[in-house]
Every structure is written in C-alpha cells, then in structure tokens.
Amino acid sequence: MKWLHLLALASLLWLAGCAHAPDSGPAAAGSDTSARSPDVPTQPLSTIAAGGSAHGSGVAVVSVPADLWERIRRGFAMPDLGSELVRGQEQWYATRPDYMQRMTERSSKYLFHIVEELELRGMPTELALLPYIESAFNPQAVSSAKAAGMWQFMPATGSYFDLKQNAFRDDRRDVLASTRAALDYLQKLHGMFGDWHLALAAYNWGEGNVARAIARNEKAGLATGYEDITMPNETRLYVPKLQAVKNIVAHPERFQAALPAIGNHPYFDTVDIARDIDVALVARMAGISEADFRELNPSLHRPVILAAGVPQVLLPWESAQSFRRNMLNYHEGRLASWTVWTVPSNMTVSAAAQRSGMSEAELRSLNGIPPRMMIKAGSALMVPRAAGSGKDVPGSVADNGQMAFTPEIVVRRSTVRAGRHDTVASIARRYKVKASDVADWNDLKTSSHFKPGESIVLYLTTRNTPAAHGASPGKRPAGARKTASTVKRAGQAKSPPAHKKAAPAKKRASR
C-alpha cells in the first residue's frame, strides 16, 4: 500500500512538470501572453527617404519617383501609335524648343493636381499631357469656336458637366472644376467606345460624329479603330500630337528637349473664403502679385471674390499659410470694395453709371459692356459697395448672375416735307413709327392731312432717318411755299417723351 502511494505521488509531480513546459510555437488563441517578450522593435524607427527602395526575396522593387516627369512616365498605359503622322508631330515640337519650354513651364503649376486625379481614377497618365495639345496649358485660352480653358470646353458641354458660366466666373477656366469635368468626360467616352484613342477622337470631334463614323465602317465591313475611321484632319492629327508629346516626355534626350524640373509635390493649396473679399486684398495677404493669383484662379474675371459662389481659392503652397495667418489678424476695415446691383429695368450705360456713382468708361470696363448697347433688366452689374455696408452678395446672385444687353436706340430730330396726299398715317407708315407719335410731335390729330410741302417734325432712330428712305430732311420740293400754318406747326412741334430723346454723345471706352 505504501508502495502505491509513492507511485501516485511521483506521477502527479511528473504531470505538473509537463503542464509548465515553455511554448515553442505561437500562443494559442485566448492564451495570456502578457509575460512574453513584445513582438515590436526595441530600436527607434527610421524614415524611408524619398527616392529610396525596398528590396526583398521575391518582392518587386517599389520606389518614390524622383520628379513628376518620372511619375507620369510610370503611369503610361495607352497603346503607342507609330505612324508617319506621329513622326511629323515629333519633328514639329522638337524644332520649337522655345515653345516647348514656355508650354512646359506653364504646366508646372497644374500638372501635379492632374496626375493625382488621374491616378485616383486609375486612368492613363498620358491624359495629363492633353492640355498641351488643347491649349498649350493656358487656362485663359479661347478658340475661334468659343471653347475656353486649358481643357477647351465649349459653353454647352461645360454646362452639361456643371461648369458655371456667369457674370462673375467661368468654371471652364477653373483649374479644379475643369479638370474634374474633363476627366469625367474622358471616362464617359472611354466607357462608350472601349478605346482611349477613340475616346480622344470623340473629345475633339464629338461623340456623335465618332459613333456615326464607326457605324459606317461596320456597315461596310471595315475595321473601326482610330486609324481606320474617316475623320477631319484636325481629329486625324489629334492623337498623333499627343503621342508625339508623350514620346518627348518619355525620352527627352532623343529630341534634345530640356524639360523643366517639376517636383513630385503639390504646387498650390486651397484656402477657404468665408466673406466677399477683393482679389487685390487676397493677393496682398498671401504675399503674391495679382497676376500670380489669377494664374491659379483664372475663372474669376471680376475684382472681387463672391464667397457664396466661390468658397475656396487656390494659392501657392507656401503662400496659403501666410494668407490664413494674415486673415485671422486683419482688422483694417472692410474686405470687399465691390458689390452687385441687379438692374431694375432696361437702362443706358450713362444712366446706370450715374446711379452707381461711376464714370461710364469705368462701368463699361468693369462689367464688359460693349459699345452701343443698353443694359437689360435683371442684369447683375458690379458696382462700388456703399461705405459701411457689410452685406455680402447672396448665393442666388453669386451663382447665377448674368449680364444681358440690347442695342442702344439712338433717336434724332428730323424735319421732312409732306408730299401730295400725305397724312399722319401715311408718314407713320413710311418711317415705321406710330401715327399717334407723329400726331403728338406735330400737335395734330391722327386723322390729319398735310398740305404739299408742309414741314413735318419726326424723332427717328438712325435706321429710320429720311436718308435711309431716300428723302432729304428739311428740303422743300421746288416751288413749294412756306405757309403760315407750316411755320406755326413747325414752331410749335412738341418734344418727344424723355425716353425717346437722343442721349448726348459719349466717348466710348475701349474694352
């Protein structure tokens, strides 16, 4: 019995030792690992330098592009064209180094943002080069067909892609808005045609035209690629131009091209605009010139930023923080010198200038009013803000305000002689005026008849003057007598109502 007790005690001691043996593998789920050494480095972490690389067995090399050109090259994803048209376009660009230099330097402000947007959408980075073909990266460019901005949107297409075009801004020129719209459009076209070259042809020529050209080839049993369909010369050269620029960016040394250094980092930052503020004041707070401001905000074509319509603007990266700091500390008075006045009725420029306290030339220049035009009712006219006024322009006006014009009517006093059987009605018909006006101007009834050679006073627009009707004002037919009644009527002729009188001649301001 004693032997059995000793055997049992030895077994218990052996089992206890097995239960406390250390683990050699990972801890089981739910086990307590607090007493074990932590699986984290005990030394400080080191930063991966830009341009460095990570290597590992069977792992691809990943590196940060040294500059933006290299980043663009890595994103090329379109099939290459190798036609003679491409060779010709390469030669054109390569023999114009000054033009290439200006164009690429101008693009340095916008390229980083475009590349970022393309990569976020998974689109080929060749498309970042498209504004070189469209506008030479000039956001103020306007074509003969009225396409505007660096992506060259027509007014109707811009409206379709929600690019506002009003009295205060044109988003077809806006860096962020136009890029968003262009990439939306290109994605839509690629979805329609399933081919980037055809999508680009449609961007230039119109999706309907490309679709019909493809349908014609399909009906004829022909191929339907970009190089197969019939298209205008401009569209035929469109993709070869892009391919030529792509080739120069890919291998500048082959073309003796010098691409300006563009860092792989943002050029600009967005800053919030909470109140209406003068463009000149924003530039001063940011420490930049107005010209530099407008290069990043080319959609704004007035001297004030209306916060309800433009809640953000772009500033150079280093200048954005200066603006924020100076804006917080600004206590020098009002932010905006200008406001918007909605014109209540059709009005001459001189009358509107008098109402707004401006000279006619200044009002024309500020609001882009053409010569010989009146301002139509409902137009959003930019005028000086009254002293002490802190009221900002409401969103309904800031977002939708428009300027509209109607030809200015120039009225002149004319005198004509009545012929045989002339009446008030016949004179009114001949000079395209109302019979009641002819009667009023000459102190007569609308049923009155004129004696041959009698003087008739008329107030006519320039297109209705006697010369336009083959008559000589003030000239009596040969032998006509000046009767007493003629003298009386001519002397007693009434002046027209104020709105029919000719305004005094004004010096027109050049636009």
Q: Are 153 and 172 in contact (CB under 8 A)?
A: yes
Alpha-carbon distances, residue 412 vs 92, 458, 468, 473 (angstroms):
58, 8, 13, 11
Among the listed residues 245, 314, 259, 244, the one whose alpha carbon sits nearest the alpha carbon of residue 286: 314
Task: Give the CA angle between residues 308, 310, 314 to the nearest 5°.
Answer: 150
Q: Provide the residue count of the chain.
A: 511
First to last CA, the chain: 123
| Active-site pick, 134, 295, 360, 454 | 134
Cα–Cα distance list, 272 to 306, 307, 313, 395 (Å): 12, 9, 7, 16
DSSP annotation of 255 reads G
How far is 435 from 426, CA to CA, in rounded Å? Answer: 8
70 catalytic? Reply is: no
Measured CA distances, 429 to 415, 418, 419, 438 (Å): 16, 13, 14, 10
Would you state the structure tokens that stand for residue 155, as one six-digit string?
């007014």
β-sheet bridge partners, residue 278: 304
Are 439 and 449 in contact by the 8 Å Cβ rule? The answer is: no
Q: Name the DSSP class of 52.
A: -
Cβ within 8 Å of residue 283, ≥6 positions away = 289, 290, 292, 293
In one letter, which amino acid is 299?
S
Nearest Cα to Cα of residue 235 among 254, 212, 219, 257: 212
CB 199 within 8 A of CB 193: yes
User: Largest Cα–Cα distance of the chain, in whole Å?
Assistant: 170
Between CA 372 and CA 370 the distance in angstroms is 7
Structure tokens belonging to residue 18: 């097995």
- What are the catalytic residues? 134
